[in-house]
Amino acid sequence: MTAADKTPAPAADPREAGTQLRPGLWQTINERYPGSMIRKESFVSQASLSKPLAESRLTLISSCGVHCKTDPPLDVCHPFGDFRFKRVPSSSKQRELIIHQLKYPHDDADLDLNVIFPIERLQELHMERRIGSLTPNFFSFIGYNMDPERFERTVAADIADAVVQQEHADCALLAPA
Amino acid sequence: MSVTVARDVTEAVKVPRALFLPWPMGHHFGVPFHRDLQRRVILAALKLLEESAEPGTIRTIRDLPIKWADVRREAKSMLTIQGQRL
């Protein structure tokens, strides 16, 4: 047996393998967020674009907690979370927006909001006609909520209704901070 | 169409399509002021939106060969030019 034979094979790089450091940690999201209505056997729904992206209207939804500086912030200190959401005009400039969120590091996003809420990049892609149009408003909320059932019934349902019925979006880009 | 840095959570919540990037929380679209990188991530996500036919598809970094260490280094040089620190 040579020295080379004793050398253990290097573990697969989780980035290359497309996994994270603790694969299989949860069988279902319900183990981490008790009360969620999503189950392991739940059906994964999918709708396809009905027209080319260059003719479609896109919205942006993020749990990054960004809002207009002129709006009061969401409650970042409530132990159960804030079950409201904010509309962010899609024509906003970065200097008009601010992040209020304590549950993820946003130092870099404070320097350049586009790392988590790419509003300026989407405006550019719309100007270049890569995207047909943007909804008048984008959406933001605080991802920390300790009552998933209430969250799905309020924030998630209300945003979904607004995206479809008020903003008439064809597709949505999600950025779950 | 989700851009995620938490693959296991995304698998569990069953989004129709997702682009997974093994990057730090809060950096879904890259690093500050790296406009090209931010665009590449968005365009990769939109491409998946147009192409994906299988519900629950999660595309990984293998389809977007960008190394975090490289973009971090590029971000540092960009911020240095602006007199800021990363």
Q: What does the pLDDT look like over A67-105, one tens digit per residue? A: 999 999 998 888 888 999 999 999 999 999 999 988 888
- The residue among A66, A68, A138, A62 whose CA lies nearest residue A99 is A66
Quote the minimal CA–CA distance from B20 to chain A in Å: 8
- Asked whether A113 and A119 are in contact (CB, 8 A), the reply is yes
As a whole number of angstroms, the distance between CA A175 and CA A150 comes to: 21
Residues 56-75 of B with CB under 8 A from A: 56, 58, 60-62, 75
Task: Give the mean pLDDT of A26-40.
Answer: 60
For residues A40 and A18, give the distance between their C-alpha atoms in angstroms, rounded to a whole number.
20
**Which of the residue ranges A74-83, A128-137, A161-170 would you say has the lowest mean pLDDT?**
A74-83
**Run of H or E residues at B40:** helix B35-51
pLDDT over threshold 70, residue A167: yes
CA A99 to chain centre: 14
Inter-chain CB proximity B32 and A112 less than 8 Å: yes
A130 pLDDT tier (thresholds 50, 70, 90): very high
The stretch B76-80 carries a mean pLDDT of: 80
- From residue A177, give the alpha-carbon distance in Å to each of A58, A62, B76: 19, 7, 22
The per-residue pLDDT for B77 is: 81
Query: Which of A9-23, A115-129, A132-146, B61-75 is predicted with the least confidence, judged by mean pLDDT?
Result: A9-23
Res B66: pLDDT: 74
Is the per-residue pLDDT at B15 higher than 60?
A: yes
pLDDT for A62 = 96
> Three-state SS for A108?
helix
Residue A152 backbone phi and psi in degrees, to 5: -65, -35
Once rounded to an integer, what is the mean pLDDT over residues B30-38?
91
The pLDDT of residue A11 is above 80: no
Q: What is the pTM of this model?
A: 0.84
Cα of A3 to nearest chain B Cα, Å: 32
**Mutate: best of B7, B20, B31, B39, partner A, most A CBs <10 A:** B39
Decide if A112 contacts B33 (C-beta within 8 A). yes
- % of chain A at pLDDT higher than 70: 77
Measure CB to CB from residue A174 to each of B15, B26, B61 and give the nearest one.
Answer: B15
Position B53 pLDDT exceeds 90: no
Mean pLDDT along residues B35-57: 91
